[in-house]
Chains A and B, each alone.
Chain A
Amino acid sequence: MSNLRILVPIKRVLDYAIKPRIAASGKAIDLTGQKMSLNPFDELSIEASVRLREAHGARISDILAFSAGPTKSQDALRTAMAMGADRGLLVDTNNELEPLAVAKILKKVVEKENINLVILGKQSIDDDAGQTGQMLAGLLGWGQATQAAEIELKDDVVKVVKEVDGGTETVQGKLPMVVTTDLRLNEPRYASLPNIMKAKKKKLDKETLESYGEGLQGRLEILEIAEPPPRQGGGKVEDVSGLVGKLKELGAI
């Protein structure tokens, strides 16, 4: 029964409650001065890994929180460590990395750190791609279980209940594995003040993008980012008859 060395990749993103503003260039979202947070799905991944430790104790020998992004991403890593990750690793870069590039970086981290379980969010709420976990599993040739609603570890077998269209599906595989988390998986804990203080003493390594080699440049060019066509409310009706009448008028019933 092998010990678990868990990698939890996280991303710092525009806070979920904030409406994105398009930058003057028309090719990006303006993030200056905006509230940034840990991607909500990544909070679930950290919580899942900490719960595995709570259930399996010393078998979980390492929980490594990882991020690739601007220097400020270390705030997100500190949050992860305050929630229970053992240490952090930041690839410090201002480059916008596409999922394929992130997956390639993660592959190297997995190999170097002897990771045997990677838990990622199913998507980041900024680019909504939903690709990184599956790409990493493909690059590593590992089993994958996406959109996890339940994760159960027994010996070296990981059993995952997945959210699929129309219900759930259960799959299981042997370690090593890649799991991506869905919202129903758990309710992430709040980091307590003592844990936030302790997290400041945990180890946070920094590396540069260059140390991860070639082939990480973007493959897609953003030509334009635009506002979606605005939708105008059509006003209110007085009562249920008014509602039925308006729906008929609009041809909806």
Chain B
Amino acid sequence: MLANRTVLRALRTSRSNATYATVSRLLSTLAVLEHRGGKVSAGSLPSISAAVAIGGPVTAFVAGADSAAVAAEAAKLEGVSKVLHVPNGAYDKGMPENFAPLLAENIKAGGFTHVVCAHSAFGKNIMPRVSALLDVQQISDITAVKDQNTFVRPIYAGNAIATVKSSQATNVITVRGTAFAPAAEGSNAAPVEQSTVDPNAPQLCEWVEENLAKSERPDLATASKVVSGGRGLKDKENFDKYMPPLADALGAAIGASRAAVDAGFADNSLQVGQTGKVVAPQLYMAVGISGAIQHLAGMKDSKVIAAINKDADAPIFQVADVGLVADLFTAVPELTTKLEAEKK
């Protein structure tokens, strides 16, 4: 009797040790990738680096009619251990009502401890819905991974940095793209597998149309140089007259302050700030932008900040590495000409 109990206790102990070992071994991350035109979107690449930083093997996930082709591309990305794809055209538009259940079911089936996605319009739309379906408190817009359970994220428009610890079995995370290096396409050849988990949840909303600003210029969120215009440009005509030549001379993307967007100078998709895009280019040149808190939230991690403003007391000069107090209507054309001359 006594002996039996001891054996039982020994068994129980060994089993709980085994369980513990299994749990720590099972650390594994699902990286949800966006794609367009058969290619993995550039905005998704930093989330793979974040996934790698968490520590376990990284499974990339793609869904859509051409998922097999995209999966083959994703398999080459450094850091990816496996690619899971769901070839179903119902997921092409990334509608949250069916995409979130698809993800939730695949996360459950795969037993992933972490799920990462870019903090993009797609990720912001879908991942909280996934979190709710999994009964998980999401961790949004992380800028660093401290360890598998501890993450760093900006709050209050980047005016404070929070370090949060999760004790949840599954962690749903969105990743600030500018805070992690994009995963490189290498000689990797991760195995590609078609997922058999497809709940085919109804699409409660219908996709009607999209209207994307077409541009030959580098993408704002990932550009190495950004020139941004603000209220100082006074109207849309000036914005269109002065900003594009300067951007072209630098090979830069064009951004705008919220004031410029609200006043109709520029499209909303160009807005840099807490409520727009967050950028961290090598060079950020602010033209006619005063530097309100909400704008600084979107650009203060840029490597070099230059500012042109006629108000010497504008707050932008407190963060700018180089400032020029001047009338932008004379300084910008002169700068454009000088930069063009430098190129030759």
Contacts and interface: CB of A to CB of B under 8 A. Distances in A.
A145 B225 CA distance: 32
Interface string B68-107: 0000000000000000000000000001110010000000
Nearest to B336: A240
Contact of B208 (A170, A241, A252): A170
Interface stretch (A3-11, A67-75, A121-129): A121-129
Contact of A225 (B140, B161, B167, B331): B161
B14 interface: no
Contact of A236 (B207, B282, B324): B324
Interface residues of A, number: 80
B322 A235 contact: yes
A114 B96 CA distance: 24
Contact of A145 (B124, B129, B205, B212): B205
Interface in B299-344: 300, 303-306, 308, 312, 317-326, 331, 334-335, 338-339, 342
A146 B268 CA distance: 15
Interface stretch (A50-58, A87-95, A158-166, A200-208): A158-166
Q: Main SS of chain B's interface residues?
A: mixed
A29 B160 CA distance: 9
B282 A252 contact: yes
Interface string A228-240: 1001011111011
B137 interface: yes
A100 B137 contact: yes
Given A135-B128, A228-B161, A244 B339 contact: yes
Interface stretch (A77-85, A188-196, A213-221): A213-221
Interface residues of B, number: 92
A22 B306 CA distance: 29
B343 to A, nearest CB: 10
A241 B338 CA distance: 8
A243 B335 contact: yes
A99 B165 contact: no
Contact of A131 (B120, B131, B164, B335): B131
Given A17-B293, A234-B320, A138 B137 contact: no
Nearest to A139: B132
Contacts of A146: 96, 124-125
A128 B154 contact: yes
B206 interface: yes
Contacts of B277: 165
Contact of A235 (B121, B269, B323): B323
Point out which of B162, B262, B331 has the most chain A C-beta atoms below 10 A from its C-beta.
B162
Contacts of A234: 320-323
B16 interface: no
A226 interface: yes
Which 9 residue pairs spanning A and B have beta carbons closest together? Answer: A138-B132, A173-B205, A134-B128, A143-B204, A167-B212, A219-B137, A234-B321, A131-B128, A138-B129
13 contacts: A16-B293, A129-B140, A134-B129, A147-B124, A165-B122, A166-B213, A167-B212, A167-B267, A172-B208, A182-B275, A222-B165, A242-B324, A252-B306
